[in-house]
Amino acid sequence: MLVVHHLGISQSDRIVWLCEELGIPYELKLYARDAQTRLAPADYRALTPFGTAPVITDGDLVLGESAAIVEYICMRYGGGRLFVRPKEAGYTDFLFWFHFANGSLMPAAMVDMIAGMAGGGDETILAALRSRLDRAYDQIEARLADMSYLAGDAFTAADILTVFPLTTMRMFAPRDLGPYPNIRAYLRRIGDRPAFQQAMAKADPGFTVPLD
């Protein structure tokens, strides 16, 4: 049985949402953050050597890393749905955006959160790092001017990976979406998806997509 180990308000939101989009059976095991540190509890950190969310188990398999989990579930249980195949139109667009989410966007989005936890840092270095996030948002905004979703007109797993840094991550590192009307419209489309609403009701009740 596929088990999604969900840490509240974390990247494991993506996996609950994916399962709902695919309409596959899964068990949801909930973990609360430590009340003082706001970090994952010890039993969650013990699931994998790296100790971060998300994590799934599937029989004897224990698997971490969002992109690896998304690909595993889509291929193992979803028949390849939400992926674009190499011979299909838009394959390279899908491939780029699927990896852009964690390869470029997430690291850039974490700069302010880490700086805040560390009590600041060299402003010249921080400014250079923050400019990477500006470029990431600008690139997404430009892409969504022409497309409904990141890989094209169809919703894919690339969107599942990208929405977290555009929404939940902003709870830890606030960012104004005022200058990004296309991103805001995109997030409205995401928030209207029944599977997204069902996932949030199970994983993080009361969570709504932040649009400001």
Among 86, 79, 66, which Cα is nearest to 158's? 66
* Domain 2-76 matches domain 91-192 at the CATH topology level: no
Residue labelled with tokens 């902003």: 170
pLDDT at position 122 is 65
CATH superfamily of the domain spanning 2-76: Glutaredoxin (3.40.30.10)
The architecture (CATH level 2) of 91-192 comes to Up-down Bundle (1.20)
Query: Domain locations in the chain?
Result: 2-76, 91-192
Record the pTM.
Answer: 0.93
Count of CB atoms situated within 10 Å of the CB of 42 = 9
pLDDT per residue of the chain (212 residues) written in tens, 0 to 9: 999 999 999 999 999 999 999 999 999 999 999 888 888 999 999 999 999 999 999 999 999 999 999 999 999 999 999 999 999 999 999 999 999 999 999 988 887 666 555 555 667 767 777 788 899 999 999 999 999 999 999 999 999 999 999 998 888 778 899 999 999 999 999 999 999 999 999 999 988 888 87
